[in-house]
Structure 1
């Protein structure tokens, strides 16, 4: 909601500092935001005589302020505009700043006193003077009262931390909003280090050897009291345990500690011991712990299985697929590996990850695609129904990324798994906040927590998810000689135990004809996926409805597509996907352009426009290039080499693709072959891939689909991810057919 005094503050900055701050005018909306706070920070720097203005209230600003004006009040504020910056900051924080008239009057003084009380620093900085660290806290977006359902207990911890440690050099005032956060978690580490006795400049907010050694010397038990108990109980409060923030270690606190230890699979002692301190302060906790689970990117051989069992490992996480053909060659489950795991009395939980390195890789349709790919791979490897697949979110997802991208993605996974009959359960693999929010939304039933990535925003300041199954804490090498293997060591909660026996793997064999009893389900699934991308079944503004495209690109020419697949050792789904996708994109304008080309050639003998045509939307230059390449490479025969500069040659092959669905479909295979070989003489400089193979990786499939669309620029890059999702749906039913 707009505030008139905030608007006046914005007007003041624009008027008083026009052209002086190195930024555009602040929007005069009356709504507080970082843009306004940055402008006020720059204005302060300008008044302090700092020449390199910045949005950041950093050490230079703080030290200059400390040197020139360690206490600001009615007698020391150097100018009216300087005071107006203070008054504007107060209004942006929700406090009374007077009339923004440059006077540090009673109203400003009262608000400053209240602000410091809200921050918890009123005893450290008594009175109504404005001190440098409070000024820094004034010009940011932190709140000092509970907001958005914040916890009073957490706010009490925040205020105590501020009041207790604000006079230490590297401790800045933290929010008192009742929410745990990265800044609060780091302030706790500073507080622990200060309490251990580390000097300014030595304390750094990092959970290093000195901090760990200090904590080992401060085990707490019933009857302990003082600052250490306040820090420990504060850590419990911040981790959302049902305790009060206290200075005495009571029997009630001990009971709550035992419950937390049991939940986190720590030794249950009821004491504030090192392992418990570590779990409260950093996501990975005590990395000396040995877990019963692990995950890794290396094949489990008999020797490695023996080494893992000797280490106490029971559950092994392995990847269903590997997107790369060169990096981490054993990342995906290898042939015979699951049987080795079973033979050695171990169990395996599957992980699915292909791209997933940024928010752009997560959406509802991409979630549907990921689920389908994971189902296909799980069945190929022999995982039985009921297995839980952990879908990875392997990036530092901010809360808005979770809301806007990750949650819709997992809804897509959930819907696709349901459409498949619910054969597999869904797990989420990622930072704490991701796991918690996905699970609370009902999209996953267990969490594999990437706590080893302690710097992730989604781990710093978030509690361990209630439904955690595996807690990834450290990378280590176990075993020796042939049994040596590097693993990520995971604590296991018992909520998931993987699988200990497996079906026979589905062999990688050539495609055959589609089974009659899968076609209806295949058409429904393809339609659902396209609807998730915004393509209605009735075609919308496009020329063809879903059923027609599916009939032409999949059903009517199944024998031909099967023949092409077998001849070129490429999956039928590659041909089906490219043709169906292109046909769904035919518009009335395309058909009008085709008619114009045909009429012009009939009249003048000229090929006037190289527009894409036919069910594969193929241009003449592409058809000539692909067919010429395949003829010269010996992939096909029975045709002559065409001249790409000759109108008659271009028109003849273009018209053939227009007239014949069979030729257009055959040309899809030719274009794929050309693209795979690096498209020599074409418009794409991408390197050659290995020749078509039934074991193409996700990345190779993506590249083939992307190259069909166009060079390695947008929109081909992002559109190819959508095509890849369609490929997974097509491949599901081809796989069923060839394994019946």
Structure 2
């Protein structure tokens, strides 16, 4: 809902400052956001005579403001334009910003209402005594022009808020300490502020206190071990750190009690620190930075280097027991980081264990989608079987970038849903873990998508680590990259602390070698594949665009567009083909074919099915309104999908819930998934082809015959029969099956050379 006072602030920005160079237009929507706050910052810079406007309320802005207006109130001469900015900021913060003028803009009058609002802001931020009176001061002004809240937000903690207010009151007079939010949430800025507070307590000057967990800070903490009976500011900072790390029962106190000692012992056991019950250096470190004491010896490593006998002996001699190794390489790169044939025998033979990691890319938000999760799950299952990892092994899927919280919601969680749905569907043989920053690990675990976390705590500056506690389900905690050993045994590793939740595996099945199976497509071959496909289809009377395959009515995709779209799912079709031990070309052909022949009538047919299941009043004689219809990339009927998936479930090919084609609810459920979920549609196409082998008929009235299940050595005739049956019955379908067999051969020409 639009806030009229915020709207007025936005109109003020655009009307008064909108024509300035470097001043972006602000959306007049009545919704407070960073765009509005950044614009107000630029307005202030302009009024202070700063010529290079920016979103950042940085040192130049603060110093200039302090020099010109160390205090602003009703008696400040020549500050009316600055006061208007204060009023607009107060409106956006939810406070009463005072009067408006005849143009319905802030009045520029620092009256009693403005003074009261500023006093309320100071009180909420915990600095009413530090900055007495009703005047606006520079550091408060900086805080005003942010999206930080100074009241408890949502399910924020009252204890956390009281600590935030205390920190503001205690340290805001220090040069590089700025007001932190008082919203009840531990965050990146609050963690940085806590580190500064610790450095101040050590006795560092403003120049020395940088917020970096360096040698000076570490030495200061080693000199200030806390135990039962300790009192004062050090205990307050330590207890604050315990609260921020969400230790149950912790509270903000200034005396180190026996109760606090007990909570410390619990935290030390959780983080796998020596259990002393004291506020010692390693405990301080684990509370303040994600690595904790990065010099701690671990019991696990992960590495991109093959474990040879010499390297295995180096690891054993250094006290390591578990090795994390990669199932796959990154396609089209030179780094060979994956397990080598025979390496697991070397690992186990030298008394070590192994846990598998799956990562190809995974280093940016754009990689993470539900269908990519499905593709990666299929590939991970295939690779784990290839090496002989037994059922029950946990595979850690990597999120190797600093995902912001909204990216976790929009990208990472859907990806892991795709992973879990696929892992569950194909037998649930392997368990699912996540590698990533703390926030990612905790959130996907809370969504029920993983069972253990491999935490990338070595990335101390990640926003997903700063301000987040160690995940409750952590198995491995990655804290430092080191090199150990010498000569042939020299190896660079990431040193990991082990919780005991996962010790990997030390026995393995015989690997399931996959000679003759398909691999991912090399897109450098795409121009040649397209040229051959165009030439073949044109030889069959199907030009690049139009021409009609079944109906010459508004075809949507050209050959190029259809091929590009079909091949964009190559990772998925590759994974399906390998999991189901069938040819990738067999799955790709009906997807490509149905995309190429899609017309505007298919959209009308979809609308008719939607109307049938959701419309409250429709004409039963309308030919477009039907209970079911072919839909999605592979143009599959819901009843066909249900029959095929039921068959595959009953045969143990996949797992899942049997559906009933006589139930409208089941038809509607599956039809929607076919229409809206590309992964589901394409995987169902593979299941339809498997089921089709049990029911081969040219005409619907013919008795069905059964041919072998699709396999890696399938004959051309069996392939043609399946492609025909996928489409339906009749002479036209039979005639098209020969045309589609030709399409199959074009795909095979390029897929086969990559095996």
Matched, 1:222 2:301: no
Q: What's 2:63 paired with?
A: 63
Q: Which position in structure 2 is the counterpart of 1:356?
A: 362
1:316 counterpart residue number:
323
Shift of 1:56: 1.3
Distance 2:598 2:69 in 1: 72
2:592 corresponds to 1:585: no
Secondary structure of the structure 2 residue equivalent to 1:496:
coil
1 CA distance for matches of 2:5 and 2:740? 69
How many angstroms does 1:375 deviate by? Answer: 0.2
Q: Is the 8 A contact 2:555 2:599 kept in 1?
A: no
Secondary structure of 1:660's counterpart equals helix
Are the counterparts in 2 of residues 21 and 42 from structure 1 also a CA contact under 8 Å? no
Q: Is the 8 A contact 1:189 1:281 kept in 2?
A: yes
Quote the Cα distance in structure 2 between the aligned partners of 1:413 and 1:425.
10
CA offsets 1:303-322 (integer angstroms, 9 cap, x no match):
11111111111111111111
Which has the higher mean CA deviation after the structures are superposed, 21-30 or 346-355?
21-30
Q: Which residue is equivalent to 2:379?
A: 373
Indicate the residue corresponding to 1:262 in structure 2.
269
Q: Which secondary structure does the structure 1 equivalent of 2:478 belong to?
A: strand
Looking at structure 1, the residues matched to 77 and 5 of structure 2 have their Cα atoms a distance apart, in angstroms, of 21
* 1:194 matched residue in structure 2: 200
**How far apart in 2 are the matches of 1:462 and 1:474?**
19
CA distance in 2: counterparts of 1:328 and 1:7, whole angstroms? 54
2:742 matched residue in structure 1: 663
Shift of 1:444: 0.4
1:281–1:573 Cα change, 3 Å: farther
SS at 1:487 equivalent: strand
Taking the aligned partners of 1:35 and 1:122, their CA distance within structure 2 comes to 29
Give TM-score, length-normalised by structure 1: 0.73
Per-residue deviation, 1:658? 10
Matching residue of 2:574: none
**Alignment partner, residue 600 of structure 1:** none
Alpha-carbon distance change, 421 to 543 in structure 1, aligned in 2, over 3 angstroms = farther
Q: What pairs up with 1:534-573 in 2 under 5 angstroms? A: 573=583
For 1:291, the equivalent position in structure 2 comes to 298
CA distance in 2 between counterparts of 1:371 and 1:337 reads 23
Contact 1:119 1:173 in 2 (8 A): yes
Aligned partners of 1:657 and 1:664 also within 8 Å: no
Quote how far apart the aligned CAs of 1:50 are: 1.1
Instruction: Choose 479-488 or 72-81, whichever is displaced more.
Output: 72-81
Map of 1:280 onto structure 2:
287
Unaligned runs of 5+ in 1: 513-540, 554-564, 566-570, 593-655, 674-691, 695-740
- Measure the CA separation in 1 of the matches of 2:229 and 2:467: 28
Q: Distance in 1 between matches of 2:746 and 2:594?
A: 17
More deviation, 377-386/13-22: 13-22
Q: Deviations over 1:458-485 (max 9, x none)?
A: 1110000001011000111122221111
Kept after mapping to 1: 8 A contact 2:17/2:23: no
User: Residue deviations 1:81-131, cap 9 Å, x none?
Assistant: 221111111111111111132111111111111111111122221111111
Match of 1:507 in 2: 513
Structure 2: distance between partners of 1:75 and 1:659: 90
Q: Does the aligned pair in 1 maintain the 2:394–2:432 contact within 8 Å?
A: yes
Structure 2 counterparts to residues 222-621 of structure 1, below 5 A: 222-241=228-247, 242-324=249-331, 326-329=333-336, 331-511=337-517, 573-576=583-586, 578-589=588-599
For the 8 Å contact 1:21–1:46, the answer to whether it is kept is no
Q: Which residue of 2 aligns with 1:89?
A: 89
Give the 3 Å change call, closer, same or farther, for CA 265–579 of structure 1 in structure 2. Answer: same
Deviation of the 1:361 alpha carbon? 0.9
2:304 alignment partner, SS class: coil
SS in 2 for 1:488: strand
Which segment drifts farther, 500-509 or 342-351?
500-509
SS of corresponding position for 2:420: helix
Q: Which residue of 2 aligns with 1:614?
A: none
Q: Distance in 2 between matches of 1:243 and 1:201?
A: 33
Structure 1 residue 573 displacement after superposition: 4.1
* Shift in alpha-carbon separation, 1:590–1:26, aligned structure 2, 3 A: closer
Shift of 1:4: 1.5
Q: Secondary structure of the equivalent of 1:134?
A: helix
2-side partners of 1:166 and 1:77: how far apart?
27
The offset of 1:254, in angstroms, is 0.7
TM-superposed CA distance for 1:336, in Å, is 0.3
1:110-149 equivalent positions in 2, closer than 5 A? 110-149=116-155
Describe the superposition over 1:25-66 as per-residue Cα deviations: whole angstroms up to 9, x where unpaired. 322222211121112111111111111111111111100001
Distance 1:232 1:310, change over 3 A: same
What is residue 650 of structure 2 aligned with on the other side? none
- 1:408-430 deviations in whole A, cap 9, x for unaligned? 11111111111111111111111
Compared with structure 1, are the counterparts of its residues 212 and 668 closer, same or farther at alpha carbon in structure 2 (3 Å cutoff)?
Answer: same
Note if contact 1:7-1:29 (Cα within 8 Å) is conserved in structure 2. Answer: yes
Task: Please give the secondary structure, in 1, of the residue aligned with 2:316.
Answer: helix
Paired with 1:385 and 1:337, the residues of 2 have a C-alpha distance of 19
CA 1:30/1:588 → structure 2, altered by over 3 Å: closer, same or farther? Answer: closer
The aligned length equals 562
1:210-238 Cα deviation digits (max 9, x unpaired) = 11111111111111111111111111111
Q: Deviations for 1:241-275, whole angstroms, at most 9, x for unmatched residues?
A: 13111111111111110000000000000101010
Q: Structure 2 vs 1, CA of residues 224 and 588 (structure 1 numbering), >3 Å: closer, same or farther?
A: closer
Q: Is the 8 A contact 1:657 1:663 kept in 2?
A: no
Q: List gaps (5 residues or longer) in structure 2.
A: 100-105, 519-553, 567-576, 603-734
SS in structure 1 at match of 2:209: coil
Give the equivalent residue in structure 1 for 2:44.
Answer: 44
Instruction: Report the CA distance shift for 1:425/1:659 in structure 2 as closer, same or farther (over 3 A).
Output: closer
State how far apart, in whole Å, the 1-side matches of 2:206 and 2:517 are.
69
> 1:210 — aligned with what?
216
- Alpha-carbon distance between aligned partners in 1 of 2:517 and 2:116, rounded to the nearest angstrom: 79
CA–CA distance in 2 between the matches of 1:119 and 1:149? Answer: 18
CA shift at 1:327, angstroms?
A: 3.2
Inter-CA distance 225–64: structure 2 relative to 1 (3 Å threshold): same
Q: Distance in 1 between matches of 2:89 and 2:190?
A: 22
CA distance in 1 between counterparts of 2:298 and 2:24 reads 54
The equivalent of 1:711 in structure 2 is none
Q: Structure 1 stretch 291-300 or stretch 17-26: which is displaced more?
A: 17-26
> Does the 8 Å contact 2:354/2:506 carry over to 1?
yes
Mapped partners of 2:207, 2:77: distance in 1 = 31
Tell which deviates more after alignment, 16-25 or 39-48.
Answer: 16-25
Q: Secondary structure at the match of 1:486?
A: strand
User: Alpha carbons of 1:390 and 1:542: their partners in 2 closer, same or farther (altered >3 Å)?
Assistant: farther
Is the 2:24–2:39 Cα contact (8 Å) retained in structure 1?
no
SS for the counterpart of 1:221 is: coil
TM-score where L is the length of structure 2: 0.71
Q: Distance in 2 between matches of 1:336 and 1:297?
A: 16
- What is the CA deviation profile of residues 421-451 of structure 1, one whole-angstrom value per residue up to 9, with x for unaligned ones? 1111111111100000000100001111010
Question: What whole-Å deviation, never above 9, does each CA across 1:564-595 have from its counterpart, x for those lacking one?
Answer: x9xxxxx9745345434422312245999xxx
